[in-house]
Chains A and B, each alone.
Chain A
Amino acid sequence: MRAASLIVIVAVALPFLLGPFWAYQLGLYALYAAAAVGVGLCWGHAGFLPLGQGLFFGLAAYLSGLTFIAFADLPIIAVLAMPIFAVASALLAYAIGVLVFRRRGESGPYFSMITLALSLLAFQIATSWNSVTGGFNGLKGIPGLPGLNDFSDVYYVSAAMLLAVLAIAGWLYTAPVGVLWRALAQNERRVQLFGFDTNQLKAVAFGVSGLMAGIGGVVYAPQQGIVTPQAVGFGVSADLVIWTAVGGRANLLGPVIGTLLVGSLTAQLRDTLPFWEVLMAIFFIVIVLAFPRGIVGLADPLASFLKGRRKQAHVAAPKRLSSDQPARLVLNGVGVRAGEFTILDRLSLDFDPTGIFCVIGPNGAGKTSMFNAVSGELATVTGSIDLGDASVSGLTPHRVTRLGVARKLQIPSVFQHLSIADNLAIALWSGRARKLQLLDPRLRRWTTPMLEDLQKRYPFLASVERKAGELSHGEQQILELAMALLTEPRVLLLDEPCAGLSPEETTAVIGIVRWAAQRLGGAIIVIEHDMSLVKELAEVVYVLHNGTLLAKGSVAAIQADAAVRAVYVGGEK
């Protein structure tokens, strides 16, 4: 709050301090800054880089400019239409996001290149569609916003838009959706396995960034009085990325500071200093390589002072949305292939609704692939997988998770850059939070009796500020295990939960698994190599070999089984 009031005071005071010329300049850059905040949202939070953001800025600017010209006598209509055009930019961005992210979940180079291509396409259309856009020379003679008298009025409109954009961004960053964006930027697969549709989350992020660019664009047209193809093209798109990087992409205010600083410096120096833009390009590369936090990163101590600290009361989380009754997991003739290799060969398994089960087998037996098939990450070519009455086969990973299947991966994959509290919160939202609730920051204070018990057992889980990446390997394993438990799944899949742990940590994990089995009352399926662990945990042991079930039974029965011994000792198949 302290920071917010400071920003408002500065924004109001600026025109008095700097005079009308600078107020006008800043008014323009405030609009670019609004779009840059959107770039920061995508790049610094959701982890994908839009290279063609000018498209949404320019589209909104053209629409708004055309309307202001068409309704020159009745400017109030154009004013009323402005929000619609900003939303139109948002919808276009969302649609593009859905299209591009849909199949591949692609947020690397492919997304960036396609947005770059789209902005070049928009530039071509704006240049060649003379009758509507005015062609290369642009849309001229756009009337100004009605009722504004001087430069500082114009500035206040832009500043108000920017503050609105900042308010939206600040709110989203504290809401669960912001936490999920930062989480999926680190490990998208893990977020899916917690039951969230990451492709949609990314499309929403891109849509919001389109809205922010659109808000800048609709005001730009009446403010400048002209919209040229440059507004949709590569130049603006590139500038937005540079400003965002220089200011600090992950910070709320970074893109704004970058835009105001670099933008106004460029306006001053471009003509006097011949190599200014070359210097800026070098500066950009250095920032990206060496200072990913940008200028704002230098001022972190100040930021933590302004943020203030207060303790927040916890709220009880609701029950899971889907059924939490224990259910039988049945794999019936499941086949998985990769090219010519058969990974699972008509594998049939049947797990009771409650109990601890161990899956063992030599390397390459298909143990982890079996988990991947259940959690929807590997497509099956034959057979079916059912959980109780529901069919699991063919569902995407996030839908499988919502049915009550949780998973702990072999390599500890907690969200390193998020706090322990946020890591645990993501697990609590899994299967409990409805989509719109992800906008409610209060969800970050959720707790459950199970979380409180876990925090009593492992006090480090109660830490608020520590990042998950600061934990030791063993603590990270326990954190991830705790996260899997907090979803209160009907079926919990644990892939070598004790790999790389010390004897003490192993004992701790065994304790937690036993405790969880009682507490959850569901099925826990453990992949394990260590026979001493299997002896301690398993009620029933399943032996996999070459993608099929070789044997099933109690530990003693398995150890006595001749076929199993042959596989392990290296006899004939």
Chain B
Amino acid sequence: MDPLIVTQAINLVYAVSTLAVLALGLAVIFGLLGVLNIAHGEFIMIGAYCAYVTQSGHWPYLAAVPLTLIVCGILGWAVEWIMIRPLYRRPFDTLVATWGLSLLLRKIAEAIFGLGFYSVNIPLPGTVHFLDTEYPIYRLLLIAVSLLIVVGLVIWYGGSRTGSRIRAMVSNPDLAQAQGISVRRLAAGTFIVGTCLAGLGGVMLAPLIPVQPFMGLDYVLRAFFVLIVGGLGSVSGLLSGAAVIGGVDSIISATSSATDGYFAVLVLSILFLWLRPRGIVARS
């Protein structure tokens, strides 16, 4: 096979699978709690800064994972408690509040780290020989980890006790409460899972992108488009949404320009909103 095509194909798989992970946390919070967390991108940013801090402290790269989980976990817990909990079932107010939160997190990052870019070293440099081509080993690893996270979360959600409690909460919070499920704790937990997933995404991507306060905006929009195209409530939706958005974006960006890729994604999302408002995998 033509090595160039192989490289492009792996690039596509890479773009789609990382996009799926980046959208996963947003999908969890939006799909299960009905809260569109516009600050999702800023939790990704926090993950990336955690990776940068780990590196500047000369710790092993993997130490960024627990660091991010702690930071995003505590922050997610506090945010749910202070801002989100009083606003459940008021989607418009949560929208404005999380938008304010995204602003706040960005400004805090700006105050601590400044507006400049940071770069994080790739923890696993080098390439691997794969189907007649050389491919960066770290990217291959990311593809594997991304799929592992998505599949792992799905299996846990479908099979565990907590998963079934969450399903009960989503379909009828009052009834779930009456069955002795602490809806409040469960919702807080779900929110924290969402923010931690965003943080993990940030740690994974940090070595491949410039780390800066405004990086989150772009990701939250992309993740949101994935949800528009794929629809809420199913893994196949998430993956197909990521495939469409990630695919269109990388193909058009590669052949034309990044602006055109962005424009195409935006138009596509509006078209979906119009023609298939419940996404590709709509359950009738």
Contacts and interface: CB of A to CB of B under 8 A. Distances in A.
B86 A274 contact: no
A49 B92 contact: yes
Given A104-B274, A108-B91, 14 more contacts: A49-B95, A108-B95, A110-B273, A113-B38, A120-B218, A120-B262, A128-B257, A277-B107, A281-B100, A282-B104, A285-B83, A285-B104, A289-B83, A289-B93
B36 interface: yes
Nearest to A245: B96
B122 interface: no
A125 interface: yes
A110 B228 contact: yes
Contact of A47 (B92, B221, B262): B92
Given A49-B95, A124-B259, A124-B262, A281 B270 contact: no
B101 interface: yes
A112 interface: yes
14 contacts: A51-B99, A102-B274, A103-B277, A109-B36, A110-B273, A113-B224, A117-B225, A121-B259, A121-B266, A124-B258, A124-B259, A285-B101, A288-B96, A288-B97
B1 to A, nearest CB: 34
A104 B273 contact: yes
B223 to A, nearest CB: 10
Of A110, A234, A245, which is in contact with the most chain B CB atoms at under 10 Å from its CB?
A110
B275 A103 contact: yes
Interface in A252-287: 274-275, 277-278, 280-282, 284-285
Nearest to A185: B92
Contacts of B100: 281, 284-285, 288
Contacts of B87: 289
B266 A116 contact: no
A285 B100 CA distance: 6
Contacts of B259: 121, 124-125, 128
B239 to A, nearest CB: 21
A275 B93 CA distance: 26
Interface size class of A (residues with CB under 8 A): 35 or more
A109 B91 contact: yes
A100 B270 contact: yes
Interface in B99-115: 99-101, 103-104, 107-108, 110-111
A281 B277 contact: no
Contact of B97 (A104, A109, A238, A285): A285
Given A117-B221, A285-B104, A278 B111 contact: yes
Interface size class of B (residues with CB under 8 A): 35 or more
A275 B108 CA distance: 8
Give the 8 A-B residue pairs with the shortest CB-CB distance, closest first: A281-B104, A285-B100, A109-B36, A103-B274, A277-B107, A281-B103, A278-B107, A124-B259
A241 B100 CA distance: 10
A564 interface: no
A275 B111 contact: yes
B240 interface: no
A114 interface: yes
Interface string B60-94: 00000000000000000000000100110001110
Given A109-B91, A241-B99, A288-B100, A100 B107 contact: no
B156 interface: no
B78 to A, nearest CB: 12
A505 interface: no
Contacts of B103: 238, 242, 281, 284
Interface string A86-129: 00000000000001101110101110111011101100110010
A339 interface: yes
Contacts of A109: 36, 91, 95
Given A103-B274, A113-B224, A284-B103, A118 B97 contact: no
Contacts of A117: 221, 225, 266, 269
Contacts of B270: 99-100, 114
A177 B126 CA distance: 64
Contacts of B83: 285, 289
Contacts of B91: 108-109
A339 B274 contact: no
B275 A277 contact: no
Interface in B244-277: 257-259, 262-263, 266, 269-270, 273-275, 277
Contacts of B92: 47, 49, 108
B284 interface: yes
Of B36, B38, B224, B273, which is in contact with the most chain A CB atoms at under 10 Å from its CB?
B273
Contacts of A51: 99
A109 B97 CA distance: 12
B269 A289 contact: no
Contacts of A118: 266
B215 interface: no
B97 to A, nearest CB: 6
A265 to B, nearest CB: 15
Interface in A107-158: 108-110, 112-114, 116-118, 120-121, 124-125, 128
Contact of B104 (A99, A116, A124, A278): A278
Nearest to B30: A109
Contact of A116 (B101, B214, B221): B221
B230 to A, nearest CB: 14
Given A121-B266, A285-B83, A288-B97, A234 B274 contact: no
Nearest to B274: A103
A120 B273 contact: no
Contacts of B107: 277-278, 280-281
